[in-house]
């Protein structure tokens, strides 16, 4: 009996594993299945047990191979970023990102988390005019008085709030949802800034999978500049997606960017769905940084009114000493507007 049960259990595991292992542009079903790759470890373990009980050599070899792949993917060896070298003075910043699900997130809870966690930078996706008013009424402007906001009805709006001055550096081109790029003043009088991109890619659903790939590639392109960078938001991608790993690897494949959750050992902590879908949880929301930034205190925090959880981490940014040439490694900023209540 075990030998016959092995096939229907192992076959789906083998199919999804092939999609995870072979680096090609799979159709949308493959992309969606790979998002749930960590959960495939359960049927893989069941297949191994059935193979051991069934005493079939080929089944044991196949099951052991599948289980070995799952272990390798669950515990990858290249996710931890190196400690940033002390090339200058450290600046500490608490960053938070939340997809507000069509502006329905509990504004009071968002503000409570900002206050409790002493958040200095907040990225909000699916930011609507109504949510903007609710956040102001809940007291967010008093905690984070600077913002660059692209409020829209529906899912397309995005905003960045900060306790320090922000400069609008435009937005990523050719994306379905707004992805503003801002420069955050790191203080200290040296002119050092942190470049921040508020990320919200289209979900890989139906024919949108090609646009999803293009948008992830566009986000990856933001990481090719110099200076500290934070990509914060809803990537609609997990570490098991080849497209997300390519984003981290950069053009040279040298892991130029670091997923803060992965480097903290929290890669498998789900951020979606918190409600509304009877699906296993996966991590779609990320804080991604350049290697001159280290992260600590990573947390995933549910918020009422949205199917996404907030992600929060303390970032330690290495910036040049004020006595040196503080801006030598930064690209010349284009003319852009300063932060306000827009």
Query: Is 180 in the same domain as 107?
Result: yes
Query: Is 134 in the same domain as 243?
Result: yes
User: Can you tell me the distance from the alpha carbon of 151 to that of 76, in angstroms, rounded to the nearest whole number?
Assistant: 38
Query: Is 156 in the same domain as 195?
Result: yes
How far are the Cα atoms of 214, 218, 251, 257, 289 from residue 247, in angstroms, in the given order? 11, 9, 8, 8, 11
- Token output for 172: 């990523």
Query: Is 48 in the same domain as 174?
Result: no
Cβ-contact 209, 28 below 8 angstroms: yes
* Residue 31 forms part of a structural domain: yes
* Residue 36 forms part of a structural domain: yes
Count of CB atoms within 10 A of residue 102's CB?
Answer: 18
pLDDT of residue 329: 31
Query: Is 271 in the same domain as 219?
Result: yes
CATH number at residue 180: 3.60.10.10
User: Can you tell me the distance from the alpha carbon of 320 to that of 224, in angstroms, rounded to the nearest whole number?
Assistant: 20
For the chain, the domain total comes to: 2
Query: Is 48 in the same domain as 137?
Result: no
Query: Is 57 in the same domain as 121?
Result: no
In a structure prediction context, what are the per-residue pLDDT tens digits for the chain, which is 342 residues long?
Answer: 677 898 999 999 999 999 999 999 999 999 999 999 999 999 999 999 999 998 889 999 999 999 999 999 998 876 655 554 545 678 999 999 999 999 999 999 999 999 999 999 999 999 999 999 999 999 999 999 999 999 999 999 999 999 999 999 999 999 999 999 999 998 766 678 999 999 999 999 999 999 999 999 999 999 777 789 999 999 999 999 999 999 999 865 556 899 999 999 999 999 999 998 889 999 999 999 999 999 999 999 999 999 999 999 999 998 866 554 333 333 333 444 556 545
Strands (E), 166-256: 166-171, 180-185, 193-200, 229-234
96 DSSP β-pair partners: 122, 312
- Token output for 125: 């996706």
Query: Is 96 in the same domain as 49?
Result: no
Q: For residue 228, give the 3-state DSSP assignment.
A: coil
How far are the Cα atoms of 81, 121, 171, 292, 341 from residue 289, in angstroms, in the given order? 10, 14, 18, 8, 27
Query: Is 167 in the same domain as 265?
Result: yes
Task: Residue 222: give the domain boundaries.
Answer: 89-319
- Name the nearest CA neighbour of 82 among 320, 256, 288, 283: 256
């Amino acid at each position: 009996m075990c030998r016959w049960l092995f096939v229907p259990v192992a076959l789906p595991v083998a199919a999804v594993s092939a999609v995870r292992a072979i680096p090609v542009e799979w159709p949308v079903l493959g992309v969606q299945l790979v998002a749930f790759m960590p959960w495939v470890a359960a049927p893989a373990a069941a297949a191994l047990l059935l193979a051991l009980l069934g005493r079939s050599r080929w089944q044991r070899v196949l099951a052991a191979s599948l289980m070995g792949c799952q272990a390798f993917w669950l515990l990858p060896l290249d996710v931890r970023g190196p400690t940033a070298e002390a090339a200058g003075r450290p600046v500490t910043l608490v960053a938070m990102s939340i997809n507000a699900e069509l502006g329905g997130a509990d504004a009071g809870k968002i503000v409570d988390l900002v206050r409790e966690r002493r958040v200095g930078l907040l990225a909000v996706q699916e930011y609507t005019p109504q949510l903007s008013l609710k956040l102001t009424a809940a007291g967010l402007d008093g905690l984070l008085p600077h913002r660059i906001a692209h409020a829209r009805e529906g899912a397309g709006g995005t905003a960045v709030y900060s306790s320090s001055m922000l400069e609008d550096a435009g937005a990523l081109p050719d994306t379905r949802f707004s992805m503003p790029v801002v420069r955050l003043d790191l203080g200290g009088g040296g002119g050092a800034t942190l470049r921040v991109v508020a990320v919200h890619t289209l979900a890989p659903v139906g024919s949108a999978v090609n646009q999803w790939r293009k948008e992830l590639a566009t986000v990856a392109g933001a990481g090719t500049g110099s200076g500290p960078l934070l990509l914060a938001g809803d990537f609609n991608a997990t570490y098991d997606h080849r497209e997300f790993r390519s984003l981290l690897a950069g053009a040279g494949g040298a892991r130029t960017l670091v997923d803060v959750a992965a480097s903290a050992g929290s890669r498998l902590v789900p951020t979606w769905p918190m409600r509304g879908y009877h699906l296993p949880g996966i991590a779609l929301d990320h804080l991604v940084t350049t290697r001159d930034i280290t992260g600590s205190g990573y947390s995933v925090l549910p918020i009422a009114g949205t199917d996404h959880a907030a992600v929060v981490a303390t970032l330690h940014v290495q910036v040049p000493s004020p006595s040196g040439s503080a801006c030598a490694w930064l690209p010349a900023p284009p003319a852009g507007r300063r932060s306000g209540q827009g």
